[in-house]
A and B are shown apart, each in its own frame.
Chain A
Amino acid sequence: MSFQLDTNRLRDAVVELIRMASTQLPEDVIQAMATGRDREDEGSPAKSVLNFMLRNAEEAKKNSTPICQDTGTNIHYITIPVGVSMRAVQQTIIEATRIATEKAYLRPNAVDSVTGKNTGDNTGEMAPYFHFEEWDEPAIKIQLALKGGGSENVSAQYKLPDNRLNAGRNLEGVYKCIIDTVNSAQGLGCAPGVIGIGIGGDRASGMLIAKKQLFRLMTDTNSDEKLAELETRLYDDLNTLGIGPMGFGGKTTVLGVKVGAAHRLPASFFVSIAYMCWADRRHTMTFTETEVTYD
């Protein structure tokens, strides 16, 4: 039997998803920050800044106010059952976005690139951003990330080989690109960051894969052994750079490193890097005909 979509119910559920994403830092991110804090030296700015960030996350949750005033680009990764209208789901999310902006869960963040005018409700061309997939489950799954401008500004894309970095077309070359990106970012992406990496693809799909990595839990391990190894090595080495929270120095420069890969053309080898700030706001909603769950 086909999935019966109640758009009013979906709209209200998405407003709640946006509220959670904006005001509640995911548990695994909080854990990763606490681990970082415990590792920092007693009395160092790094330790107190991490404590401050954690306290802010707590207060934001308690008061239901945005963790950061930049509520970012709203990225929706949506999985729908066979037969559900993509257009109906998209329209419903747009409506929910307007309501969430009115309720001040989101700051008006969609500016017309030609006229410079802010639409005032976070909707517009490619705003919010949607990516659809289909599955066999009788449920709509929406993964939402709010990605702030500061962190997006320090994200990067490389084309291998790269002579400046002496980086070839292999995982060693990829490694060098990530070290370079995080070092160039310093504290500006609001370190400690979460680094999503897409190897291969074209310029657009590579970045899509990089951003998709940001939905993985801090604690998970890559199912590909070589990529898992690269993730651990990068996590350890990036944290020796000494950039620290907000770039004040310290042992916690990144909270997590997640790598994904796609097939590429023989002629191209892109490395796409999505830097996510410590305010790593993402939540997932599973919406069935009778129930809604969030995690």
Chain B
Amino acid sequence: MINLQLPVTEDQIRTLKIGDEVSLTGTIVTGRDAAHVWMIDEKPDEVRDLLTGTVIYHCGPVVSKKDGEWIFVAAGPTTSIREEPYQGDVMKEYGLRAVMGKGGMGEKTLAALKEHGGVYLHAVGGAATIQAQSVKKVLDVIKLEEFGVPEAMWVIEVEDFRAVVTMDSHGNSIHKTIKEKSTQIAEKLIHS
């Protein structure tokens, strides 16, 4: 297990390799389709400091409000590939060091991870209870009115949030290599 205290530097991120398990502690920000389109179209400055050196998490949380404070009830990852057209550019524009979600991303993001110095972190799907327990505090929420709960950008403080590096800054992707290998085996089973 590698502990990552956020924000992280480019050098730290470049030491990570696919298959590494990480535990995140610090401030991260959620963002899905609406947030990515907004960051590309309008390049808002208000999120710049929040995003530099940290993680954007593809997550549409289930939240509740208790005594005026937001609480994350479920905080599992959503499918990342939808952000493929934007992710690399958002990463470079805002100095993000990691993207977290599920299912992995494509060639464009992989190239950006290499060029800029970043990793893709895969969170476990279907483990929403534990993931919500790792969210210690909701610090802020951006564009809640306009984007709605799942799409808003939630600024959250996490502690010991677990994920696996499945794409690194050296051009490697677990998703690519596993698929290549399993397809070879599948073809043998199918055509023998």
Min distance, Cβ A30 to any Cβ of chain B, angstroms: 14
* B19 pairs with A246, CB closer than 8 A: no
Q: A69-B62, A180-B190 are in contact. Are A190 and B125 (CB under 8 A)?
A: yes
Interface residue? A138 (CB, 8 A): no
Write the chain B residue with the least CB distance to A244. Answer: B178
* B129 pairs with A166, CB closer than 8 A: no
Interface residue? B102 (CB, 8 A): yes
Interface residue? B166 (CB, 8 A): yes
* B127 pairs with A180, CB closer than 8 A: no
* Cα of A66 to Cα of B164 in the assembled complex, Å: 23
* B126 pairs with A148, CB closer than 8 A: yes
Contacts of A279 in B (CB 8 A): 126
Contacts of B186 in A (CB 8 A): 179-180, 183, 241
Q: A186-B182, A277-B125, A279-B126 are known contacts; what are 19 more A-B pairs with Cβ within 8 Å?
A: A45-B19, A45-B21, A49-B124, A53-B126, A59-B130, A68-B74, A70-B126, A148-B126, A150-B125, A180-B186, A240-B185, A241-B182, A241-B185, A241-B186, A242-B178, A243-B182, A246-B102, A246-B125, A247-B103
Write the chain B residue with the least CB distance to A191. Answer: B125
Contacts of A247 in B (CB 8 A): 103-104, 174-175, 178
* Cα of A67 to Cα of B4 in the assembled complex, Å: 26
* A166 pairs with B189, CB closer than 8 A: no
* A52 pairs with B103, CB closer than 8 A: no
* A59 pairs with B189, CB closer than 8 A: no
A43-67 interface code vs B (CB 8 A; 1 in, 0 out): 0010011001101100110010111
* B127 pairs with A56, CB closer than 8 A: yes
* B127 pairs with A53, CB closer than 8 A: yes
Contacts of A190 in B (CB 8 A): 125-126
A residues neighboring B (CB under 8 Å): 45, 48-49, 52-53, 55-56, 59-60, 63, 65-70, 104, 107, 148, 150, 165-167, 176, 179-180, 183, 186-188, 190, 237, 240-244, 246-249, 277-279
Min distance, Cβ B114 to any Cβ of chain A, angstroms: 21
Write the chain B residue with the least CB distance to A182. Answer: B186
Closest 9 CB pairs of A and B: A69-B74, A68-B126, A183-B186, A56-B127, A279-B126, A190-B125, A241-B182, A69-B128, A60-B129
Interface residue? B66 (CB, 8 A): no
Contacts of B179 in A (CB 8 A): 186
Q: Which of B74, B76, B79, B174 has the most CB of A within 10 A?
A: B74
Interface residue? B191 (CB, 8 A): yes
* Cα of A105 to Cα of B126 in the assembled complex, Å: 15
Min distance, Cβ B102 to any Cβ of chain A, angstroms: 7
* Cα of A249 to Cα of B176 in the assembled complex, Å: 11
Write the chain A residue with the least CB distance to B122. Answer: A246
Interface residue? B133 (CB, 8 A): yes
B158-177 interface code vs A (CB 8 A; 1 in, 0 out): 00001010100000001100
* Cα of A26 to Cα of B146 in the assembled complex, Å: 40
User: What size tier do the contact residues of chain B reach?
Assistant: 35 or more
Min distance, Cβ A64 to any Cβ of chain B, angstroms: 10
* B128 pairs with A242, CB closer than 8 A: no
30 A-B pairs within 8 Å (CB atoms) are namely A45-B19, A45-B164, A49-B164, A53-B124, A56-B128, A56-B129, A59-B130, A65-B129, A66-B128, A68-B74, A68-B128, A69-B74, A69-B75, A69-B128, A70-B126, A107-B74, A150-B125, A165-B190, A166-B191, A176-B189, A179-B186, A183-B186, A190-B126, A241-B182, A241-B185, A246-B124, A247-B174, A247-B178, A249-B178, A277-B126
Min distance, Cβ A282 to any Cβ of chain B, angstroms: 14
* A55 pairs with B130, CB closer than 8 A: yes
Q: Which of B73, B79, B183 contacts A65 (CB 8 A)?
A: B73
Contacts of A66 in B (CB 8 A): 74, 128-129
* A63 pairs with B129, CB closer than 8 A: yes
Q: Which of A55, A63, A165, A248 contacts B174 (CB 8 A)?
A: A248
Interface residue? B181 (CB, 8 A): yes
Contacts of B102 in A (CB 8 A): 187, 246
* B130 pairs with A186, CB closer than 8 A: no
Write the chain A residue with the least CB distance to B128. Answer: A69
Contacts of B122 in A (CB 8 A): 246, 248
Contacts of A48 in B (CB 8 A): 21
Contacts of A187 in B (CB 8 A): 102-103, 175, 178
Min distance, Cβ A271 to any Cβ of chain B, angstroms: 13
